[in-house]
Structure 1
Amino acid sequence: MIIPLAHYKMFSHFSTSNKSQFLIGATSSGCGKTTLTIGLLRAIRKRGLQVQPFKCGPDYLDPKHHAIAAGKNAINLDSFLASAGHIKSLYSYYGQQADVCVTEGVMGLFDGYKDMQGSSAEIAGILDQPVILIINARSSAYSVAPILYGFKHFQPHIRIVGAIFNFVSSPTHYDYLRQACQDTGVEALGYLRKCQSIEIPSRHLGLSIDTEFCLDEFAEQVATEVEKTIDIQRLLEVTSQPFPQPAEESTEAISPASGLRISIAQDEAFNFIYAENIRSLKKLGQVTFFSPLQDTQLPPSDFVYLPGGYPEFYLQRLSANQEMRQSLLAYCQSGGHLLAECGGMMYLGEFIADAEGKKYPMCQYLPQAATMENMKLKLGYRKVICNGQEWRGHEFHYSRIVAGSVPSLPRTQVYNAQGTKVDTPIYSLNRTIASYIHFYWGEKTDFISMITGRT
């Protein structure tokens, strides 16, 4: 599907000076986007430059790695969860103080939930970002030429300004790849050599969160490789262009509109949180963070947010902290407003069973339980229609609910990105809303107002 240039509206106001900014796209998944992004973020930072990372799509894991490499929180840019106007606002607001803005794409450059919709290319088009294409050069040489040519010309308004190759075996191998670039009019900016020490280990939910895997050291390793074989200075030069000025309302200091006391679970077990969701909550009230692993009491709260994360890796500690479990149970039973997503919902149940079937008691508020037995991935974008209002999010989990009888939120339908109804329930008990869906409300704070009853 060819999308005309007119589909994208350019920013109307630009800063007087240029700024290096680019999107790292790939020909397919598995090319090494995340490894390259981590290395570039750290290498640019080591040059004394402030670098702001962004991530295409709803992913929570890559932004955590970006933050460690760059020293700044990464921001998700997702065209299913948010409008083009909101994406532009996020980009200009978070990028305004940085010297360089780096966006990591998702999957292949043109891969979306429907044709190009939701793709990295769509984000690049919305933001008018130049694209650096990373190509897996393993077992290939000059044959990358037609790949480069096709990607460059498929959507001419998506500006591919340079290419970087991964898994390159030798300088001679790179010479063939560089010749392919020259013959197709795409500038070769360097390569990463084939090196097992800069490959991120896998885990069942994506990139590793093993405590023995030190991402800070890994970022240093990749940055060292990047500095050896990638022309960073040239990359910054070819991607320099005027940066959009943030909208006036985006630059205003946050002033809570009410005295709403908002408590958010955040620790090793619960940390799947969009930065913009938190910023929008700070506009509604006073935000306090607490740890279900370490704290014994819930802070004084008018609204509690239990995000997703990795409760399955901390079952013994979560179960052993009976004081916190009792505190949350009492809050919910007394009619406190609470939103629980994915792992947060699992924590509110009677128990969580690990992969071997061992059961660990949890908060025992929701009359249902979750298990990691016979794990099977369920994922996808979700559109929720409730009482005529539309909310968006995504689902990504391996656990499943067992032995449950929690009522669903009335007058609610859930659809996937293609508009097909899906069987993802949204539970409603007293004033608790719980679901496997991770919601994005950075653009629509009335979602939280609806949950808290403060419209």
Structure 2
Amino acid sequence: MKKKPQFLIAAPSSGSGKTTITQGILRYLKNKGLQVQPFKCGPDYLDTKHHSWAAGNVSINLDTFMSSKSHVKNIYGKYSIQADVSVVEGVMGLFDGAKKMEGSSAQIAELLDIPIILVVNAKATAYSVAPLLFGFKNFYPGVKIAGVIFNFVSSESHYQFLKDACEDVGVTPLGYVPKNEKLHLPSRYLGLQITDSSQYNSTIEEIAIHISKTVDIEKLLELTKIPFQEPEVDETIERGNLKISVAKDEAFNFTYHENLAALEKLGEITFFSPLRDQHLPATDLLYFAGGYPELYLDELSSNESMKKAVKEFCLKGGRVLAECGGMMYLGDSIIDSDSNKFPMVGYLDQKTSMENMKLKLGYRKIHVNGNIFFGHEFHYSHIINPSMKFLVGEIYSARDQKLDTFLFRKNNTIASYIHFYWGEKNIMDLLF
């Protein structure tokens, strides 16, 4: 069985710097001429985009809450098979899941049987990391800590205390990352990162150089070289004949790669821009993913011909799925944080507002049409006077608490704040 480096980068908690270190390592490996396959634990659709820029290869979500364990194993194998190195970035703290360890980075590492590289924030500690490392090493025998990288280290002498802790615990130290205020990923908007690849590229190059000076990445690769289990590949792909139009521009771009792969099995995908295009492509199914419509309200509102085309398609019974920002776009208007109102498509008789913003997020279970779908909710806006007569289904949290999140169906239009994951389901079961 072929061996190659495979590992999951995790941390004791959020804020440890694992995202910065992950992307620096991805770029370092890419610069060495290696074929790198990045993955992201959990539902984050922004980190995958930045992984792709850092590694030069599409990044894939691995989520054991929104999809089955067999699906996670299958897509990990499918995308890793051609890679020299597979790098998985964890989510939150190593053992943090939707319910205890369910959906956590630790669960995914155990499922894939890959070792963990722990990133520890050592800014205000020294030898006291020993009990922390001991706990993470021994708490759950189903995972293996292959090594540790210390972040925000002040000096080489500081690192010596940390190495002493590693030696006494029996964990391999792989180096440290000195604090550098000039090297940080671009700022985040409402908790989500936004930037283009050109702005991002120079920063990630500097991060890769900075990390490689004091982290032994070659040793990391050697420690994590393990047998790779090739997946069973089904070569028979039956493609449907639907014409599918997917909104994709600066305002609408929160998509899961496997969702698009599943849509490709139903037919031919055409991408279009509600910001710039004047007309819809010829289509049987229209998909508006979430995004940042609130940052482009004037442009979206001013594109009258596109708004008219979308509304006519909805009124004629065209099949539409609108998630989060897509749902906001289909409403009467969007009100910005300064109380300015911008008319939108006007198909859903409701408004959304960015006033008095409050975060609502979490995994969701959606019971509709006798099926259970899974997804994720993340938004700061709220609906004004929701169209209650069009409500369908029931929405539950990861802990099975019934929620007041809405799922609307008007004719053949499905709209909600939820970002659905249907990588292993047929989205047509939701629409019909």
TM-score, normalised to structure 2's length? 0.97
* 1:220-251 CA-partner distances (Å, limit 9, x unpaired): 011011111111110000001111212221xx
- Aligned residue for 1:295? 277
Alignment of 1:439-450 (within 5 A): 439-445=420-426, 448-450=427-429
- CA distance, structure 1, for counterparts of residue 430 and residue 118 of structure 2: 42
* SS in structure 2 of the partner of residue 424 of structure 1: coil
- Aligned residue for 1:13? none
CA RMSD of aligned residues (A): 1.4
- CA distance, structure 2, for counterparts of residue 372 and residue 212 of structure 1: 27
| 1:77 correspondence with 2:62 | yes
Per-residue deviation, 1:156 = 1.9
Q: 1:35 aligns with which of 16, 20, 25?
A: 20
Q: 2:259 aligns with which of 277, 284, 287?
A: 277
| 1:127 correspondence with 2:112 | yes
**8 Å contact 1:371–1:402 — kept in the other structure?**
yes
- Aligned residue for 2:400? 419
- Aligned residue for 2:50? 65
- CA distance, structure 1, for counterparts of residue 367 and residue 386 of structure 2: 23
- CA distance, structure 1, for counterparts of residue 389 and residue 2 of structure 2: 56
Per-residue deviation, 1:199 = 2.4
- Aligned residue for 1:261? 243
* 1:348-373 CA-partner distances (Å, limit 9, x unpaired): 11111111010111111110111111
- Aligned residue for 2:146? 161
Aligned length: 432
**8 Å contact 1:41–1:70 — kept in the other structure?**
yes
Task: Give the letter aligned to residue 308 of structure 2.
Answer: Q
**8 Å contact 2:186–2:195 — kept in the other structure?**
no
- Aligned residue for 1:11? none
* SS in structure 1 of the partner of residue 269 of structure 2: strand
Task: Give the letter aligned to residue 449 of structure 1.
Answer: M
- CA distance, structure 2, for counterparts of residue 398 and residue 428 of structure 1: 22
- CA distance, structure 2, for counterparts of residue 47 and residue 211 of structure 1: 24
Q: 2:365 aligns with which of 349, 365, 383?
A: 383
- Aligned residue for 1:230? 215
* 1:30-52 CA-partner distances (Å, limit 9, x unpaired): 00010001100000100000101
- CA distance, structure 1, for counterparts of residue 347 and residue 76 of structure 2: 40
**8 Å contact 1:35–1:198 — kept in the other structure?**
no
* 1:237-289 CA-partner distances (Å, limit 9, x unpaired): 0001111212221xx37541x21111100111101000000001111111111
- CA distance, structure 2, for counterparts of residue 170 and residue 218 of structure 1: 23
- Aligned residue for 1:198? 183
Q: 1:104 aligns with which of 89, 100, 103?
A: 89
* Higher mean displacement: 315-324 or 38-47: 315-324
- Aligned residue for 2:418? 437
Give aligned-pair identity as a percent: 55
Task: Give the letter aligned to residue 266 of structure 1.
Answer: K
Q: Which stretches of structure 1, 4 residues or more, deviate above 6 A after TM superposition?
A: none
Task: Give the letter aligned to residue 379 of structure 1.
Answer: L
- CA distance, structure 2, for counterparts of residue 413 and residue 450 of structure 1: 16
* SS in structure 2 of the partner of residue 293 of structure 1: coil
Per-residue deviation, 1:210 = 4.8
**8 Å contact 1:50–1:98 — kept in the other structure?**
yes
Per-residue deviation, 1:409 = 3.9
- Aligned residue for 1:309? 291
| 1:340 correspondence with 2:322 | yes
- Aligned residue for 1:4? none
* SS in structure 2 of the partner of residue 20 of structure 1: strand
- CA distance, structure 2, for counterparts of residue 405 and residue 414 of structure 1: 16
- CA distance, structure 1, for counterparts of residue 312 and residue 370 of structure 2: 32
- CA distance, structure 1, for counterparts of residue 348 and residue 373 of structure 2: 23
- CA distance, structure 1, for counterparts of residue 46 and residue 241 of structure 2: 32
| 1:25 correspondence with 2:10 | yes
Q: 2:312 aligns with which of 299, 308, 330?
A: 330
- CA distance, structure 2, for counterparts of residue 207 and residue 350 of structure 1: 26
* SS in structure 1 of the partner of residue 159 of structure 2: helix
Task: Give the letter aligned to residue 254 of structure 2.
Answer: F
Q: 2:379 aligns with which of 397, 401, 426?
A: 397
**8 Å contact 2:350–2:384 — kept in the other structure?**
yes
TM-score, normalised to structure 1's length? 0.93
Per-residue deviation, 1:20 = 0.6
Structure 2, unpaired ranges of 5+: none
Per-residue deviation, 1:208 = 3.4
Task: Give the letter aligned to residue 25 of structure 1.
Answer: A
- CA distance, structure 2, for counterparts of residue 128 and residue 238 of structure 1: 14
* SS in structure 2 of the partner of residue 80 of structure 1: coil
* 1:60-93 CA-partner distances (Å, limit 9, x unpaired): 1111111110111110011110111000001000
* Higher mean displacement: 324-333 or 201-210: 201-210
**8 Å contact 1:406–1:428 — kept in the other structure?**
no
- Aligned residue for 1:113? 98
**8 Å contact 2:371–2:429 — kept in the other structure?**
no
Per-residue deviation, 1:380 = 0.8
* SS in structure 1 of the partner of residue 420 of structure 2: strand
* SS in structure 2 of the partner of residue 283 of structure 1: helix
Task: Give the letter aligned to residue 434 of structure 1.
Answer: A
Structure 1, unpaired ranges of 5+: 1-15
* SS in structure 1 of the partner of residue 228 of structure 2: strand
**8 Å contact 1:352–1:371 — kept in the other structure?**
yes
Alignment of 1:163-178 (within 5 A): 163-178=148-163
Per-residue deviation, 1:178 = 1.1
**8 Å contact 1:263–1:299 — kept in the other structure?**
yes
| 1:147 correspondence with 2:126 | no
**8 Å contact 1:160–1:186 — kept in the other structure?**
yes
Per-residue deviation, 1:19 = 1.1
**8 Å contact 1:254–1:282 — kept in the other structure?**
no
- Aligned residue for 2:227? 242
